């Protein structure tokens, strides 16, 4: 006797912050949703980030254009960016496209496309805060960029002033003001900083994602473990075995982050997806010393922030294959700089966590209906802003899937642009 499949309106593949948020928004619009992941919600990239909801990041992370920075990165001794030489050769065409899209006019266009998402990122997270019980994780006092030299601080001050039209709240801190705001910094650790006041930060991004998933389940949503690669199209619907049953739905949303390529290539799609890997490690506070705000060491490209698991150091960019073995040299170099900034105790994990940020060369995610399959939707490639843009991406996908329109146009993110 053949068991009839369990039905849903939509299957969402991936229970990171993007997928969980899409599931919640679809649920709010009356859709029955099955959320599927091979592991626990928020256990991958949504767990390992710096916990920033980056309202102030109105300019995408572009490819550097100045010769001094390029030479520093090319040496492969910079702390902010490291690369595997063999990977760099394979990525050369992708990097060339990234460099091209980072030109002034094209970067401005990317910033304008992303701006509505960035402007709504804090309020879209906030719509779930009370119901999900995540208020204890949220901190509304922004984060601080640190600069080691007076010249770097002057340049950063000018760059912040150039964003005046965006109405961002920030303060330029000289050495004394920075020490007052961050009393546990070593005396001469930095010449000053820029305190961005608009972002919200969280003390446990993985726990926030799990809380959003628990809210989805509490509201009647179904969460099951399964392998997204088992997805099959069956006429006008999609089938997937998960949780010991076969499930069927007319719509499926792929929100698999850095693993999206494993599935979309099997379906015949080609996107220029690459990975900026990163590491984190937690440290025991030394003599009670803690960062009062998340601190970004601007030159070395790492974040230092107090988390529920200890003081988390999150590294910059490693250009390497997604699943290549870990290389601790970047983390070790960042740790040496971090210990110059403030006291850090012992490492709290035997090995660093490693994740991969999925990136497209035009610095925009892929969000929208697939070109060649009925009922297939994509939502991946958020680069450095996955945690920031989870809920607002959920709103955009749910709007487009249910009504075809949203509070912003989805045109810049359409899959067919590649």
Q: What is the pLDDT of residue 384?
A: 94
Nearest to 333 by CA among 318, 323, 319: 318
Cβ contact 266:254 at 8 Å: no
> Which sign does the torsion angle of CA 214, 220, 226, 228 carry?
negative
Helix, strand, or coil (residue 318) = strand
The rounded distance, in Å, linking the Cα atoms of 282 and 127 is 30
List, for residues 326-379, the tens digit of each pLDDT value.
999 999 999 999 999 999 999 999 999 999 999 999 999 999 999 999 999 999
List, for residues 174-219, the tens digit of each pLDDT value.
999 999 999 999 988 999 999 999 999 999 999 999 999 999 999 9
The average confidence (pLDDT) of the chain is 96
Is the model's pTM score more than 0.95? Answer: yes
> What is the percentage of the chain residues whose pLDDT exceeds 70?
100
The rounded distance, in Å, linking the Cα atoms of 224 and 242 is 6
Cβ contact 239:246 at 8 Å: yes
Residue 2, pLDDT above cutoff 90: no
The rounded distance, in Å, linking the Cα atoms of 148 and 301 is 12
Give me the domains of the chain, ranges plus CATH numbers: 7-47+206-272+361-417 (3.50.50.60)
List, for residues 146-179, the tens digit of each pLDDT value.
999 999 999 999 999 999 999 999 999 999 999 9
- The residue written with tokens 């909801």 in the block is 53
Residue 404, pLDDT above cutoff 90: yes
Q: Is 386 left (phi over 0), alpha (psi -120 to 50) or beta?
A: alpha
Mean pLDDT of 71-78: 93
List, for residues 86-138, the tens digit of each pLDDT value.
999 999 999 999 999 999 999 999 999 999 999 999 999 999 999 999 999 99
Nearest to 292 by CA among 379, 211, 177: 177
314 versus 2: which is more confidently predicted? Answer: 314
């Amino acid at each position: 006797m053949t068991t009839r499949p369990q039905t849903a309106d939509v299957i969402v593949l991936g229970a990171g912050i993007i997928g969980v948020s899409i599931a919640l928004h679809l649920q709010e619009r009356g859709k029955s949703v099955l959320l599927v992941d091979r592991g626990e919600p928020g256990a991958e990239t949504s767990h390992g980030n710096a916990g920033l909801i980056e309202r102030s990041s109105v300019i995408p992370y572009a490819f550097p254009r100045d010769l001094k920075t390029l030479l520093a990165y090319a040496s492969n001794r910079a702390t902010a960016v490291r690369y595997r030489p063999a990977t760099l050769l394979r990525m050369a065409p992708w990097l060339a496209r990234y460099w091209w899209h980072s030109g002034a006019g094209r970067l401005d266009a990317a910033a304008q496309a992303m701006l509505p998402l960035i402007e709504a990122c804090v309020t879209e997270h906030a719509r779930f805060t009370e119901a999900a019980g995540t208020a204890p994780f949220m901190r509304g006092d922004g984060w601080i960029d640190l600069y080691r030299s007076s010249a770097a601080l002057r340049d950063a001050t000018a760059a912040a002033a150039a964003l005046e039209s965006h109405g961002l709240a920030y303060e330029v801190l000289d050495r004394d003001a920075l020490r007052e705001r961050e009393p546990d910094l070593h005396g001469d650790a930095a010449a000053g900083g820029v305190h961005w006041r608009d972002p919200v930060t969280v003390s446990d991004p993985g726990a926030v994602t799990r809380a959003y998933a628990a809210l989805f389940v509490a509201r009647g949503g179904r969460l099951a473990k399964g392998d997204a690669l088992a997805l099959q199209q069956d006429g006008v619907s999609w089938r997937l075995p998960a949780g010991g049953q076969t499930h069927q739905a007319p719509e499926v949303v792929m929100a698999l982050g850095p693993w999206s390529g494993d599935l979309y290539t099997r379906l015949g799609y080609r996107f220029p997806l690459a990975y900026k890997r990163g590491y984190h490690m937690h440290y025991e506070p030394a003599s009670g010393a803690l960062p009062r705000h998340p601190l970004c060491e601007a030159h070395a490209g790492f974040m230092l922030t107090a988390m529920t698991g200890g003081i988390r150091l999150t590294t910059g960019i490693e250009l390497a294959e997604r699943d290549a073995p870990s290389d601790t040299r970047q983390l070790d170099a960042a740790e040496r700089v971090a210990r110059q900034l403030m006291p850090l105790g012992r490492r709290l994990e035997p090995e660093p966590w490693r994740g991969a940020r999925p990136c497209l060369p035009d610095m925009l995610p892929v969000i929208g209906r697939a070109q060649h399959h009925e009922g297939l939707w994509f939502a991946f490639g958020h680069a450095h802003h996955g945690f920031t843009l989870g809920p607002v991406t959920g709103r955009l996908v749910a709007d487009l899937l249910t009504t075809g329109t949203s509070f912003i146009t989805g045109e810049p993110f359409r899959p067919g642009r590649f």
